[in-house]
Structure 1
Amino acid sequence: MPRFEPNPQRRPTVVAGASAGIGAATALALAADGHPVALGARRVEVCEELAAKIRADGGQAVALPLDVTSDDSVRSFVARTREELGEVEILVYGAGDLDADPVHEMDAARFAGQLDVHLGGAHRLVSAIVPGMVERRRGDVVLIGSDVVVTPRPRMGAYVPAKAGLEAMAHAMRMELEGTGVRASVVRPGPTSTSMGMKWDHDTTQAVLDDWVKWGLARHPYFLRASDIAEAVHHVVSAPRGVHLSLIEVQPEAPLEET
């Protein structure tokens, strides 16, 4: 007799930060596996384009406005998701951008804003969705962390503590949710080519790269693709009941050396 009933084949999924990068790639990967997805972001028109592609490929998707820094927006998003897709079985949180400045050069509002979008937003969705998972005694929460948690990078004044807080929250959730059937996991990307940081000007980009080289944090030029991280998320949520992939770190492989 199995220790757990298997997960349903159809698992309604929320992807926060779905308008680009890792979020968009994750939505595509999970929809391709048969899971209906709710795409949440402020740029809802971009999410609608992605949802249309998913539907054209035979999947099920809805695009809904989501501002993770607003309690009202999160509540409305979750309610609409339940109406459209049913109770949420999978929550993937990857919302947020990256301000590139030293800690001491960030004013309090910018610092707090980064913490709110990366950590506060995750908590808003967790508090709105996870109680239902606990009641049904199954569910997956996947938080997109960062390797800056274990190897902090300079000129990421608020991003480093925000991601550290996010991963610490996931660790606490694992202990709090033990025995409920709900799995809280972290997928921790290394350097990944996404839209994050694309708004930096040339001087900012050069300063960031120079500091990475100075501290030995840029060993080679290869970056991960967003689809690589999406595959890791898919692997986590596809693990059979009774198996908890609590942390997966994904790093880009270096280019082959000349022989």
Structure 2
Amino acid sequence: MPRFEPLPDRRPALVAGASSGIGAATAVELAAHGFPVALGARRVEKCQELVDQIRADGGEAIAVHLDVTDPDSVKACVEQTTSELGDIEVLVAGAGDTYFGKLAEISTEQFESQVQIHLIGANRVAGAVLPGMLERQRGDLIFVGSDVALRQRPHMGAYGAAKAALVAMVTNYQMELEGTGVRASIVHPGPTKTSMGWSLPAELIGPALEDWAKWGQARHDYFLRAADLARAITFVAETPRGGFIANMELQPEAPLAATKDRQQLKVDEEALSGASEATGEETA
């Protein structure tokens, strides 16, 4: 006799922060794996575009307005999702943005905004789905963390503090939910190519990149793709009963040295060719 009843075939999922980036990619990936998905975000029109794409590919999805800083919005989102898709079996809590700035230079209000979104917002949406999961004795709470929570990075003090606190919260969930059938996991992305943070002015991003290089936190220029994280999160959600992924960290693989050498050689050749054309000389 199995130790646990298998997970049901139909597992509705709510993805918080699904209008772009990792959240959007995760919603698409979950739907491709058979999860009915509610895409929640403030930019609900962006979610609807993804819903249309998912449905065209044969998946099941709805777009729901969700502002994790607003208790009424969270409640309404969960109610609509449950009404249209069924009981929420999987929550992916990944709503939020980041703010670049040194702690001595940003305001307390800016600091607080990061805590409100990444910590309190995650707690609020988890708290809204948790009672049903506890009653059914199964469910997955999957939180999107950050490698900044594990290794703090200058110019991201507010974001890093909020994500570090998120780690503490998830760890407590894991201890307190033990034996309930509800699993809590956290997935930490390394540097990922999304719009989050990179729309900020160059005068904020430039000094940050310089300091990351100084502290050895920018070893190469390759980034993860949102789809890389989506696959990881879906893997966590699909883990069979009897085990769970407590913590997962993904980092971008560095470019192969030979590839970098060829790229540099090409740049050097192009530069030399350009110089020769300018002087009328030929190269060997």
The answer to whether TM tops 0.5 is yes
TM-score relative to the length of structure 2: 0.90
Tell me how far apart the structure 2 counterparts of residues 66 and 105 of structure 1 sit (CA, whole Å): 31
Equivalent residue, structure 1, for 2:246: 246
1:44 aligns with 2:44: yes
Is the CA contact 1:143–1:167 (under 8 Å) kept in the aligned structure 2?
no
User: 1:104, CA displacement in angstroms?
Assistant: 1.6
- 5+ residue gaps, structure 1, are none
Q: CA deviation digits over 1:144-198, x for unaligned, max 9?
A: 0011112101001210011001111110000000000110000011111111112
- Counterpart residue identity of residue 240, structure 2: P
Instruction: Give the distance between the partners of 1:111 and 1:150, measured in 2 at CA.
Output: 19
Identify the range of structure 1 (123-132 vs 15-24) with the bigger mean alpha-carbon deviation: 123-132
Matches within 5 A, 1:127-146: 127-146=127-146
Runs of at least 5 residues in structure 2 that lack an aligned partner in the other structure: 262-284
**1:219 paired residue number:** 219
What residue is the counterpart of 2:189 in the other structure? 189
Could you say which residue in structure 2 is the equivalent of 1:236? Answer: 236
Amino acid at match of 1:3: R
**1:106/1:157 contact within 8 Å kept:** no
AA matched with 1:224: L
How does 1:56-95 map onto structure 2 within 5 Å? 56-95=56-95
Structure 1 window deviating more from structure 2 (107-116 vs 133-142): it is 107-116
Q: Distance in 2 between matches of 1:224 and 1:56?
A: 27
Identity of aligned residues (%): 57
**Count of residues in Structure 1 that have an aligned counterpart in Structure 2:** 259
Q: Which residue of 2 aligns with 1:35?
A: 35
Q: Distance between the aligned counterparts of 1:16 and 1:78, measured in 2?
A: 11
Aligned equivalent of 1:173: 173
Distance 1:44 1:87 in 2: 21
Alignment partner, residue 100 of structure 1: 100
SS in 2 for 1:158: helix
Cα-Cα RMSD: 0.9
SS at match of 2:157: coil
Structure 1's consecutive aligned runs of 4 or more residues displaced over 2 angstroms after TM superposition are none
Supply the distance in 2 between the matched residues of 1:44 and 1:234 (Cα, whole angstroms): 22
How far apart are residue 119 of structure 1 and its match? 0.6
Whole-Å separation in 2 of the counterparts to 1:248 and 1:99: 24
Residue by residue over 1:195-247, the C-alpha shift from the partner in whole angstroms, topping out at 9 and shown as x without a partner, is 11122112212111101001000111111000000111011111110011111
Aligned partners of 1:126, 1:156: CA distance in 2, in Å? 25
- Looking at secondary structure, tell me which structure has more helix per residue: 2
